[in-house]
Amino acid sequence: MNKRIFLFSLLLTGTITTSWSQSFKQTPNGIKTNIQSMNVEVQFFTPRIVRIIKSPAGAATKSASLSVIATPQKSTLTVAAQHNELTVRSSALQVKIDKNSGAIRFYEVKGNLLLQEKENGTRFAPGRDTGSYEVEQLFQLSAGEPVYGLGQHQQGVLNQRGRQVQLKQNNMQIAVPFFQSVKGYGVYWDNYSTTNFKDGIDGASFQSEVADAADYYFIYGGNADKVIAGYRQLTGQAPLFPRWTFGYWQSRERYKSQDETIGVVRKYRELGVPLDGIVQDWQYWSEDESYWNSTEFGNPRFPEPRKMVDSVHKMNAHIIISVWPSFGNKTKIYQAFKERNMLFGDFVTWPVNQNVEVYDAFNPHARDIYWSYMNKNIFSIGIDGWWLDSTEPDHLKEKESDEAHKTYLGTYRKVRNAYPLIHTGGVYKHQRDATDNKRVFILARSAFAGQQRFGTMMWSGDVQSGWNVFRKQISGGLNLSLSGLPYWNSDIGGFFSGRNYPKGVNDAAFHELYVRWLQFGAFCPMMRSHGTDTPREIYQFGAKGDWAYDAIKKFIDLRYRLLAYNYSHAWQVTARAGTMMRALVMDFAADEKVWNIDNEYMFGKSLLVCPVTDSMYTGRKNGETTVDLQTIKKQKLYLPAGTSWFDFWTGEKLQGGQEVEKETPVDVMPLYVKAGSIIPLSPLQQYAGEKKEDTLEVRIYEGADGNFTLYEDEGDNYNYEKGKYATIEFVWNNKAGTLTIKDRKGSFQGMRERKTFNVVLVNSKNGTGMEIPRQVDRVIHYTGKTAVNTIRP
């Protein structure tokens, strides 16, 4: 046997001493050792996911993770102990530990370096909590290697190289200590305290205020989708939202009576503008802030809340309602928390200078109480979902005593970033316990790693109305998706409009901003109009024939035409750890030109979206707004290499790998379709489910082979978890010109056995934009059995 290398299989436990001159202990999933008075543990969760734990010798054992719910699987591992390093190898990875510093390097199995810790890059200092440490871990990234993620931060950049980002929850920042690289790996730093990410000449690092160990997970996928799949394998899969949530939502801060709320839905139905969701914002409880967030309808303008909900349902719409984690001191729920010492005391939250306190969501008994009031007063009357506002929660006028406040899980300083995870998790779990007949839908302002498992849709917070702010939403949403959280949206038009647009909907300049933001919103996981200072309903922008009104309706209609496409992609999120809103690097990583593009993205696997984020048709002159819609402007955008592209609006086919200019009249946003795409288009309808979709238009974009899986189920219950759903796979053979529709898999109650697919080969004369095709190339009557159909002779 070679005396310098000792190989063995990790089948037994024990302590091994070799010429590596260190002692290490085998564990069922890796090894433990001590280097330079530092405990080091390598723990394989899967062959592609490795947990690294480092702590000072004698430090307390780290408690169970709040985010990671997976347990290590049995993997076949081998260890090679050499003079200078120890290597633990799985079928996919090699993890090497330096004997002198404890620094770790990660290689794929063929020996290519993926990531390495800096030598002496694990640093511990006394923390501000008794017995805790301030911990920093430095990594050495490759030159020019882009990394993405860290949650949602409104800095207007996609690539986080060279950036300093504070990971601390607040109104418009979502803190997720996770990044992934174009090289196909990701790093999740498992810590809930305020954390700083910094990338500079010393390396890239996570530094956290409170910890008992440096604890992180290295995930190797080979590409972004597989990295995200590994992340969700650790932290939980995203359940499927109700189908209706992929329609259009109308909201306002705020509808001040039940008649007003009902009236908005009625007006949309009268106008023939599709609508699925209405949102009831705050103060339905009372306008006396002492009754803040009572969870009860105490406002006399809402005398019959059940009737309000029933009226919305009778018009085939749904309603969600605002509920906060803070409570006025005259509410019953406040008293219940107060009696049990479950409040945060003088922690200043919104509304300021009122007797309002935040509850300790970390306490499971507090979460029980929270749900009991929501269930009795709100859920019981038929409310369809939750707008959990201020899920950070709002923390104003921060004091050191706030940070030291003892929660159920330790100081607030230690766990603060996990508040939205625990808060939304309590609501999700309690509703799941209550019924399987209605899927949980939560709209939340903040999030943390793992929150995707709690049926949560995030939004970007109370952003200003403005073009620069609008553009920053794109990279913010994309980085959140790259952080493994798949559902995100923003307030269409910006929340605060009064500063830049004091005349609101009476200002054509606001009309232009709103129209362009709404076009972007049509290609976000949730399409939701909301804001303060000025109302946003479509009829506030004129009537049919007015440019803003017509452009708004056009894109709401397009949203409904894409229902089958969007819902099928939502199923991929649930079943395959997919991502709907996709930075270009996810699908075109080999094209370096896309690495830093922050204003384009893929929506699903087929549609390239480039929002217009500059004013083109309105201006200011002598303090008044001018409008010129006659001079058509253009937008530049890049089409990724490796495929060809079709202009969705004109059918023009273009080669990838080039910058193009697209004419962008006010009702057109650049939208391109990847060659080889198969896109099902639903019939236009006033709400999701109005039409049974027995007949679908199926557009095929030639130039490459392609496939698409159409997903259907009962729409708004959890029977899909019991296998009650159906999928139909479409396969396009570009060379043969054939479309194969495979056997339907599965079934569900109410499923239509027969379908008609009107197949259209898209070109510049047919199958473009919102137009009804001039020609259907093949009508296929599908009965659930495989059939090969010749589309192009």
User: What does the pLDDT look like over 323-342, one tens digit per residue?
Assistant: 999 999 999 999 999 999 99
How far is 308 from 263, CA to CA, in rounded Å?
A: 10
Classify each residue of 224-234 as buried b or exposed e, where b means 16 or more C-beta atoms within 10 Å of its C-beta: bbbbbbbbbbb
The answer, yes or no, to whether residue 59 has pLDDT greater than 90, is: no
Residue 22 pLDDT level (bands cut at 50, 70, 90) = low
pLDDT at 12: 32
With a pLDDT cut of 70, the percent of the chain lying above it is 97
Cis peptide leading into residue 351 (ω within 30°): yes
Lowest-pLDDT choice from 141-150, 348-357, 616-625, 777-786: 348-357
Q: Which CA distances in Å does 496 have to 84, 193, 213, 533, 538?
A: 59, 30, 42, 6, 18
pLDDT mean over 761-768: 95
Closest CA to 414 of 194, 217, 215: 194
> Which member of 199, 209, 225, 392 is catalytic?
392
How far is 293 from 590, CA to CA, in rounded Å?
A: 50
The answer, yes or no, to whether residue 15 has pLDDT greater than 50, is: no
**Residue 713 annotated in active site:** no
Residue 534 pLDDT level (bands cut at 50, 70, 90) = very high
pTM equals 0.96
For residue range 473-530, list pLDDT tens digits in order.
999 999 999 999 999 999 999 999 999 999 999 999 999 999 999 999 999 999 999 9
The backbone torsions φ and ψ at residue 287, rounded to the nearest 5 degrees and listed phi first, read -95, 0
Sign (positive/negative) of CA torsion 185, 189, 195, 201?
A: negative
How far is 171 from 393, CA to CA, in rounded Å?
A: 8
For residue range 222-235, list pLDDT tens digits in order.
999 999 999 999 99
Please report the domains of the chain, with CATH numbers, ordered by start residue: 6-235 (2.60.40.1760), 244-583 (3.20.20.80), 678-790 (2.60.40.1180)
Residue 5 pLDDT level (bands cut at 50, 70, 90) = very low
* Crossing angle of the two packed helices 364-377 and 332-339, in degrees rounded to 10: 160
Closest CA to 463 of 156, 150, 151: 156
* The length of the chain, given as a count of residues: 793
Task: Determine contact, residues 215/50, Cβ cutoff 8 Å.
Answer: no
For residue range 92-123, list pLDDT tens digits in order.
999 999 998 999 999 999 999 999 999 999 99
pLDDT at 14: 42
For residue range 272-309, list pLDDT tens digits in order.
999 999 999 999 999 888 999 999 999 999 999 999 99
pLDDT at 20: 56
With a pLDDT cut of 90, the percent of the chain lying above it is 91
How far is 326 from 350, CA to CA, in rounded Å?
A: 8
Closest CA to 581 of 446, 459, 726, 721: 459
pLDDT mean over 764-789: 94
**Residue 462 annotated in active site:** yes
> Which member of 129, 281, 357, 389 is catalytic?
389
pLDDT at 733: 98
pLDDT mean over 727-753: 97
pLDDT at 762: 97
Average pLDDT over all residues of the chain: 95
**Residue 392 annotated in active site:** yes
pLDDT at 397: 87
